[in-house]
A and B are shown apart, each in its own frame.
Chain A
Amino acid sequence: MINVNSEDLNRVEKKDLFASGHRACGGCGQALAARLVADAAGENTIACVATGCLEIFSSPYPDPNWRIPFLHSLFENVSAVASGVDAAYKALKKGPVNIIAQGGDGSTADIGFQSISGMFERGHNVLQICYDNEAYMNTGVQRSSFTPFGAKTTTTPMGNTTRKKNLPIIAADHGIPYVATATVDDFRDLQRKVKTALLINGPKYLHILAPCPLGWGHTGDLTVAICRLAKATGLFPVFEIINGKVTNVQKIQEKKPVEEYLRLQGRYKHLFKKGVPVKAVAEIQEIANQNIERFNL
């Protein structure tokens, strides 16, 4: 286990390395998460970003918002590009440097999955971050393999019929040293996890729940409150996996029914329409209960 000053890890950072003026929607969870990550990582960082919302809204010429080196890659190969950066640094005997490969859930779970898997397997010193907004929001809300059961997208107008892929566990099963999940509502926890990950040599995976007001159908001011509910219902477990062992599970203080979480979002509105059988809500509650049991929330 890494031994560092816990005060250093717990300190909240704000350095404006991801500056104002980006074109994200008001209340964007991903913009908030990207800023928290960049500030926690610090100046000595190279940000590799896959195609997606984050790349689109933060890097238009001539006024990008990144104040750290920024590399844009294709949708599917951000991990491969980051691996190349790592290999280049090793070949040039330069560094150390923090290399962060970032993408949305589409590039992480679907299109770019093989390159991530390869990067994990080859053991590059890269922190892979997934900003999980549970659908392809950039192209207009299409279903991804992170779309949860029951959520409505343009390609699943009656609600998604499959369950969400559990990538943190898949990543951990690659045998990588550090896997963690976080949400944007607890910025201390999020920044601590970024800093912890960057202290470890080898591939790391951080999964951040980042609500999308447009795709989820809620107002921008609810971004943080919804994250909080996702944790309190048990739908999004927050934990760390260090060397294959689940630790630091964030316990639920006050358990909430999933309905409270679902009601706030437009993408679940069809579940509460008159005449619709309420089975779906019960199944979502079942998913939450399974999470609570599995991770001992």
Chain B
Amino acid sequence: MKKLPLGLVVDLRNVVPYKTGSWRTMQPLSIMQTPPCSHSCPINNDIRGFLRTLADKQDFDEAWHVLTRTNPMPATCGRVCPHPCEGGCNRRDFDHPLAINSAERAVGDYGLEKHLEHKKLIPKRKEKVAVIGSGPAGLSCAFHLAKRGFQVKIFEAKGEPGGMMRYGIPSYRLPKEVMNREIEAILRLGIDLECNAKVGVNIPMDQLTQFYDAVFMGPGAQLGVPIGVPGEEARGVHTGVDFLKMVNSGKSVEVGKDVVVVGGGNTAMDSARVAKRLGANVCVVYRRTRVEMPAITAEIDEAMEERIMFRYHTNPVKIIADEGRVVGLLCVQMELKEPDASGRARPVPIPGSESVIPADTVIMATGQAVDYDGLEVQKLDNKWISTNEMQMTSIDKVFAGGDAVLGLETVSAAIGQGMRAAEAIEDYVEGQVESRLSPPPVIYSKDLNTYYYQKSRRFQREALPVHIRLKGFSEIYPAFDRAEITQEAARCFSCGLCFNCANCYMYCPDNAVKKGKSGTTYEFDLDFCKGCGLCAKECPCHYIQMTLEK
């Protein structure tokens, strides 16, 4: 006789688990969100994406491809961008923001070193687009269109492509070699470039609108605007743009012993630092104070390091010339009164405070304007090109972007405009009204559970000592150590996207978080999830959120 076991026996193989999922009122959901870095980036670069690629795989190759999905010139932007992304970084409220700018430069330099090529998304389509100007806006627009298979031709008025990147930015900030190679990589997508062809002068605009399906205008703001001080016609007086153009195109410029730069913008800083490298004593004259200067803060700091004098509250009254050549600048002291229309304090001259600053060269970096020679478009304030929300100008099928639309802005802002114009052109050509999805909401520090992050040191780039810097036009920041950059990338919080910390997996009291097939993703087992919200609370990057039960 078979002996039966004593008591009650449960065969665990036959157990049907009780589905506790029916208790739930709230349900966890993995929602990818926009990190603040991408949100504050004018190009909306996938910063989290490329940093996580560096941190997880140490793969600079893939990181370069992630970055160049939006930004065709990472090595350039990694040098000249004032990095608003770092201002947005959620790590700022924890210890220090990530050195995103340095990481971008390291990735861009890797791409140049390994001769990485951009990939086309769509091989070929029949539509043709003309791009006016080969500055950052034009190149970015051409790049994004060529990637989508458009046949693009760029018309450049000057002898070489690059626009203000070539003629405005001195090579100690952006070596010409870096820019040239990034431009070549863009052109290798099959973009035609015609130099010395000024649209409106050599080629009429009507011809372009007739032959092409769409036209993008990125003429930039390349005309220096003096403020109308008496004596500006004297020899040795330049506008900032002209001065930089002369130096950057390799002409030898005699600046003499004393140089006075008027203005407080980026062009003023560049002109002052270039003049200093040409061996002059440089003095920057500005009407207001450092706080109101529109230049990038780091640029002002570096200029001060290079022993450039700053005279605040000082306004030029008259340029003093002797036999047609400038010898000095008559200035008056100002005091600041209530703010004007631009929101900055309004300077008012103090009577009887005039003084003369001796000068062999005076550089008026006081403003720039668009060269409208032969271009007939509707303008805003009679200064900048007016566009609608699709970046189309008053002329049908003509789009515009860059400094000519934004006013004086950065390389990154121009690249971002070029990218958005390319999207608009694609929509326009395909006859679509709105094909873009709005991005997910931005995630801020308050949403993060920072308990799981460790405080760490920020990557510091090392500048060359000032006495070496001033000897020539070589780059201020030597190349970075890649190991340090991957270490820096690992500091990224990965705001709004899973980085495989496994907190949800380990903390679920109901075992309702399962590993996905790849082993790096996590899924919710809604049969058993009771909706307690522990996973959402303990998710460091707010990727998991509690939502109402459907």
- A interface list, Cβ under 8 A from B: 12, 14, 16, 18-29, 31-32, 35-36, 60-65, 67, 187, 213, 219-225, 228
Contact = CB atoms under 8 A, between A and B. Distances in A.
Contacts, number: 96
B8 interface: yes
Given A27-B532, A62-B15, A187 B506 contact: yes
Contact of B530 (A26, A64, A224, A228): A26
Given A20-B510, A22-B510, A35-B511, A27 B534 contact: yes
A228 B533 CA distance: 17
Given A64-B12, A220-B530, 5 more contacts: A14-B505, A22-B20, A28-B532, A187-B506, A228-B451
A143 B23 CA distance: 28
28 contacts: A12-B506, A14-B506, A20-B511, A20-B512, A20-B527, A20-B528, A21-B17, A22-B18, A22-B510, A23-B20, A24-B510, A26-B23, A26-B24, A26-B533, A27-B532, A27-B533, A32-B534, A61-B10, A64-B15, A65-B17, A67-B12, A219-B532, A219-B533, A220-B530, A221-B533, A221-B534, A222-B537, A228-B451
A35 B510 CA distance: 9
Contacts of A67: 12
A29 B509 CA distance: 7
Nearest to B530: A26
Instruction: Please list the 8 inter-chain residue pairs (A to B) with the smallest Cβ-Cβ separation, ordered nearest first.
Output: A21-B17, A26-B532, A221-B533, A220-B532, A27-B532, A20-B528, A26-B530, A32-B509
A219 B19 CA distance: 22
A225 B527 CA distance: 26
A28 B534 CA distance: 10
A226 to B, nearest CB: 11
A12 B502 CA distance: 10
A129 B450 CA distance: 31
A24 B509 contact: yes
A35 B528 contact: no
Nearest to A67: B12
A19 B507 contact: no
B509 A27 contact: yes
Interface string B39-71: 000000000000000000000000000000000
A31 B512 CA distance: 12
Please report whether the interface of chain A is mostly helix, strand, loop or mixed according to DSSP: loop
Residue of A29, A36, A63, A228 contacting most chain B CB atoms (<10 Å)? A63
B108 interface: no
Contacts of B528: 20-21
Nearest to A26: B532
B536 A221 contact: yes
A74 to B, nearest CB: 16
B538 interface: yes
B10 A19 contact: no
Contacts of B18: 21-23, 60, 63
B525 to A, nearest CB: 7
A14 B511 CA distance: 9
A35 B532 contact: no
Nearest to A27: B532
B10 A187 contact: no
A14 B509 CA distance: 12
Contacts of A65: 17
Given A18-B511, A20-B510, A26 B531 contact: yes
Nearest to B14: A62
Contacts of B451: 228
Contacts of A23: 18, 20
Interface string B501-541: 01001111111100000000000010110111110111000
A26 B12 CA distance: 24
A64 B13 CA distance: 11
Given A19-B511, A21-B19, A221 B537 contact: yes
A14 to B, nearest CB: 7
Nearest to A254: B451
B548 interface: no
Contacts of A32: 507-509, 534
Nearest to A59: B10
B16 A63 contact: yes
Contacts of B12: 64, 67
Contacts of B511: 16, 18-20, 35
A65 B507 CA distance: 17
A19 B12 CA distance: 11
Nearest to B15: A63
A12 B505 CA distance: 11
A35 B531 CA distance: 18
Contact of A224 (B17, B505, B510, B538): B538
B506 A224 contact: no
B510 A31 contact: yes
Contact of B534 (A64, A187, A220): A220
A25 B532 CA distance: 8
A39 B16 CA distance: 21
Interface in B189-233: none
A27 B530 CA distance: 8
A65 B528 CA distance: 12
A63 B16 CA distance: 6
A65 B20 CA distance: 12
Contacts of B23: 26
Contacts of A219: 532-533
A90 to B, nearest CB: 22
A23 B530 CA distance: 10
Contacts of A64: 10, 12, 15
Given A20-B511, A20-B528, A35-B509, A62 B10 contact: yes
Contacts of A63: 15-18
A219 B536 CA distance: 13
Nearest to B546: A221
Contact of A20 (B8, B20, B502, B532): B20
